[in-house]
Structure formats: C-alpha cells, structure tokens
C-alpha cells in the first residue's frame, strides 16, 4: 500500500485479529453506532456502523481540491434553485417519462405560482467523487453526483477519526495516526441549521427532522441533533404520517406539527419514490413546501440535485450562465466533471445509445434516484437501452463515463461478516452548507468530509444500503 499501511502489518493474521477487536471497541466507545437490522426502530440493541480497519491513502492535492471547490458547488446549487427557466428546460424531457421527478416538479410549479412563503434558504449538500486513475499513475478528482437532500453520515464521520487513530497507535504507527485529520461535519451542518433557525426568529419554534419509518441510522442524525441542543435549539422527529395527521398552516403560513411550531424542516426522508406511500404523503410534502418553515432542501433545491441537471451542467457554456465573468470558478468546477451524455430522443441521444451499446463496460447508466443501489452497469445497460431504443422512456436516464479508481487492500469490519482482506474502492464526499436570506448569502462553507469504501466486487451502493463502509483519508 503506497505510503499507507505496510504489508507486514496487513498480512499478520494474529495482529489483524487483535486490531479488529480494538477497532470495534473504539467504534462503540466513540459512538460510531447503528441500530441492528432486526430492531431498526429500537435502541436496546445496537452495533458498530461498518467501517474499514485502516484508513485509506488519499493524495493530499486531490483532497484539498475537493474542499476548495465545495463553496462554488454550494453557490451553483443555490443559483440553479433560483432559476425556474433553467430547471424547466433541463428537466423537460425527464418529467415526461419519470413520474417521481414529474410529481416533484408539479409541487415546484405550484410554489412558483403561489409565491414562496419563506425567503430564507438552507442548503446542506454533499458532493461525491472518485479518484480516476490516469495512465501515468496519477489520480484526478471526478464527481459522481451532488446530493441536495438527506446527505447522510455527517454525524458518524465526525466520530470515526479517533477510531482509526487508536488502531494505528496500537499497530505501532504513531506518525500515521497523527495524519488522520480532525473532521466534524455534524458541527458544521448544525451551524447552518442554527443560522436558519435564528433567522426564522422564534425561540419556541423547533427544527423538525422528517425521518423514515425505519431508522437504523438514527445515531448519525442524533449527532446533528445534539449539536443543536447544545445551542438550546429544540428539535423534534416526525414522519410523513405525523405531518399528514397533525400538520397545519395558520393564517401566516406558519407550520404546526403535533402542536409544535416548525422553524426548519430538515428532510432526512422524501428522496425516493417508495418514501411516498400514498397521496396523503404527497399532500404532506406540499403542505411543508407551502409553509413559512425553512425547508432543507426546498423543492427547487431538491430538483437541482437530479442527475439530469448534472448532465446538462456538463454541456459547453452552461456553467458560464451561473458564473458570468468568473472563468476561474468555472474552470475549478468543470475540472471535476467526467463525461456525461444525454439520452433524450433525437440524434444526440441516438449517438449516446450507440456509444453505450458498443462498449457498455465504459459507462454507468443513472436514473433520477438517490439513496444508492440504483445505477446500472455492464450488460444490464444494453438490456435497458435496447428495451427503450427509440422510446422516450430512455430520457429517464443519463449516461456517465465509468470512473476507474485504483483498488487498495483493506479489511471491512461488519457485524456477522468474516474478517478477510479485500480489494477496495473509495468514494470521497465533501459536505457544503449555505444559508441565503433573500438575496444575501449569509453563510457558505465547506463543512467537512466523508470517505466511504467498498469491496471492488460491488458496483454500486452506499453504507445505508449495506455495501460501503465508513473510512478516513490518510493523506499522502
């Protein structure tokens, strides 16, 4: 492992067993926790969230590049959310064939028609990257996607650095342990939520975490909640069903849920079609969007995170629309783009289909979905595209060049999984926060990072999906 953990440690079976025990106990001690699969809504039985035994080497220059560009991505997402003409144009073909995106878009249109009740905008984003391996052995930073809703693991990522420091110290790698960076996204995310709450202007009003029915990952959210309570900001946790049953707006459009005035709605749910189990769920989403509460994200920011918008942004001249007279910013953002191709009906889309069918292993087919485990690879790309050939259904997807990171050996620690060495691929996420009040941006920050690692045998899937595990970068 180049400038990482030496082979004499990686191959020492007895030492690895000892270090795994140290690591698991350190994770429990630090609060790197998840509820178990069998009791996802009870905290009587918890386990450590899955993580790597060792931190993964990441080139320092590329890591710093990812941090430096994040505030520009925050600005870009915010500007897109304020540009209804761009969203209409970008998503026109998608909403014809993708019902979920179309439902979201109809809410967006209704809010535009009525006028936004709230001028405070809160964004908690995470931009995800992989390091593409160049022929000369160097790596370049390439964006996979930007998450504008329910960007998770900011809480647990704040707790993992001390776990890897402890493992490295016990392994006799003191110098390496000191290269694990401090990282506290939970505090950074909470700081932005606190600013929005403060601007809302009511000490009695709460921050409402809108959460899923199954809450295995509750401790990740509790980290952010804890940071808010430190600031004496009340929080409540509610599901869509609670909003449907007890939610209402008063004459000033203030949102009340179960008797609580809501200053901020923080969506940790609502990003997948299966989250909307009934028309009442959709009505609840509309109720929240129409309210005076600050939404994180609001509906237009949610749409700004779609894959189709990502693909359109990669077209020549589009970034310049949002950053006129800022060629340096355009250059920094564009440097992180990989190849992105339209599948809209027409000559350009036909060309994309032919390219994908000729060499499917070079690409990833991406639907307009969040949450991991949705992307399509290899021969499955051919099956989907041949089934939709010449059909408007293909416009529900975009095609992206497959990023090819270098594999690194590591051990993935998971409850009930055998301890074995694996070839691993990593994904770097960078958290960004911003708050805008009317036309004034009052906060725009990079709030920390998240490294996730998975076995190279898996093409897709995140930590919550049970494929990737938490990790830390060891800068080299």
154 is catalytic: no
- Among the listed residues 159, 366, 394, 436, the single catalytic one is 366
Q: Centre a 10 Å sphere on the Cβ of residue 124 and count the other Cβ atoms it contains.
A: 30
Residue 183, marked binder? no
Q: Which residue in the block uniquely carries the two structure tokens 């941090």?
A: 67
- Among the listed residues 285, 394, 436, 452, the single catalytic one is 452
Residue 347, marked binder? no
Q: How far is CA 5 from CA 55, 109, 172, 173, in A?
A: 9, 53, 11, 9
Backbone phi and psi for residue 325, each to the nearest 5 degrees, phi listed first: 65, 20
348 is catalytic: no
Measured on CA atoms in the order 281, 287, 292, 295, is the torsion positive or negative?
A: positive
- Among the listed residues 35, 191, 222, 307, the single catalytic one is 307
Residue 215, marked binder? yes
What is the distance between the alpha carbons of residues 58 and 4, in angstroms, rounded to a whole number? 9
- Among the listed residues 93, 152, 177, 291, the single catalytic one is 152
366 is catalytic: yes
Residue 188, marked binder? no
**3-state per-residue secondary structure call for 66-108:** HHHCHHHHHHHHHHHHCCHHHHHHHHHHHHHHCHHHHHHHHHH
444 is catalytic: no
Residue 378, marked binder? no
Residue 147, marked binder? yes
Q: How far is CA 421 from CA 49, 53, 348, in A?
A: 19, 10, 44
- Among the listed residues 145, 212, 227, 261, the single catalytic one is 145
Specify the length of the chain in residues.
476
Residue 397, marked binder? no
Backbone phi and psi for residue 409, each to the nearest 5 degrees, phi listed first: -85, 140
452 is catalytic: yes
- Among the listed residues 371, 378, 461, 466, the single catalytic one is 371
Residue 367, marked binder? yes
In DSSP terms, 427 is beta-bridged to: 452
Residue 452, marked binder? yes
Residue 420, marked binder? no
- Among the listed residues 74, 81, 125, 147, the single catalytic one is 147
Residue 216, marked binder? yes
For residues 446 and 432, is the Cβ–Cβ distance under 8 A?
yes
147 is catalytic: yes
Residue 155, marked binder? no
**Residues in binding site for ATP:** 145, 307, 366-375, 377, 400-403, 427, 452, 454, 460
Residues annotated as catalytic (active site), given as ranges: 126, 145, 147, 152, 307, 366, 370-371, 452
Q: Which residue ranges make up the annotated binding site? A: 126, 145, 147, 149-152, 215-217, 221, 268-271, 307, 366-375, 377, 400-403, 427, 452, 454, 460, 463-464
Which residue numbers belong to the known binding site for substrate? 126, 149-152, 215-217, 221, 268-271, 463-464
The binding site for Mg(2+) comprises 145, 147, 370
């Amino acid at each position: 492992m180049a400038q990482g953990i030496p082979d004499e440690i990686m191959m020492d079976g007895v030492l690895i067993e000892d270090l795994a025990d140290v690591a698991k106990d350190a994770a429990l001690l630090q609060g790197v926790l998840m509820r178990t699969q069998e009791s996802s809504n009870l905290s009587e039985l918890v386990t450590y969230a899955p993580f790597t035994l060792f931190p993964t080497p990441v080139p320092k220059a590329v890591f710093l590049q990812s941090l430096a560009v994040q505030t520009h991505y925050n600005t870009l997402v915010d500007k897109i959310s304020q540009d209804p003409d761009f969203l209409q144009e970008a998503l026109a073909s998608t909403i014809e064939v993708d019902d979920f995106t179309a439902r979201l878009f109809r809410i967006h249109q209704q809010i535009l028609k009525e006028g936004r009740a709230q001028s405070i905008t809160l964004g908690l984003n995470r931009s995800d990257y992989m390091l593409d391996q160049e022929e000369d052995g160097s790596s370049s930073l390439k964006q996979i996607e930007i998450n504008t809703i329910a960007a998770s693991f900011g809480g647990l990522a704040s707790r993992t650095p001390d776990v890897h420091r402890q493992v490295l110290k016990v392994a006799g790698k003191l110098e390496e342990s000191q290269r694990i960076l401090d990282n506290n996204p939970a505090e950074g995310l909470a700081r932005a939520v606190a600013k929005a709450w403060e601007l809302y202007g009511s000490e009695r009003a709460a921050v409402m975490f809108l959460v899923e029915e199954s809450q295995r990952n509750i401790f990740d959210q509790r980290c952010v909640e804890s940071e808010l309570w430190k600031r004496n900001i009340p929080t409540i946790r509610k599901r869509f069903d609670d909003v449907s049953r007890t939610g209402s707006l008063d004459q000033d459009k203030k949102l009340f849920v179960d008797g609580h005035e809501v200053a901020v709605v923080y969506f940790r749910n609502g990003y997948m079609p299966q989250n909307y189990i009934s028309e009442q769920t959709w009505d609840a989403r509309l109720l929240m969007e129409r309210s005076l509460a600050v939404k994180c994200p609001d509906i237009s920011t949610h749409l700004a995170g779609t894959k189709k918008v990502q693909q359109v942004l990669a077209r020549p001249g589009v970034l310049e629309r949002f950053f006129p007279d800022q060629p340096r910013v355009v250059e920094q953002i564009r440097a992180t783009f990989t190849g992105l191709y339209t599948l809209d009906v027409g000559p350009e889309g036909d060309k994309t289909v032919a390219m994908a069918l000729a060499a499917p292993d070079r690409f990833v087919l991406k639907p307009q979905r969040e949450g991991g485990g949705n992307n399509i690879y290899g021969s499955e790309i051919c099956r989907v595209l041949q089934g939709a050939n010449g059909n408007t259904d293909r416009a529900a997807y975009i095609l992206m060049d497959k990023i090819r990171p270098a594999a690194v050996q590591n051990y993935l620690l998971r409850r009930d999984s055998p301890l074995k060495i694996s070839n691993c691929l990593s994904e770097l996420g960078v958290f960004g926060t911003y708050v805008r009040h009317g036309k004034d941006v009052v906060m725009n920050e990079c709030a920390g990072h998240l490294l996730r690692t998975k076995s190279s045998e898996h093409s897709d899937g995140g930590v919550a999906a049970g494929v990737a595990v938490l990790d830390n970068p060891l800068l080299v």
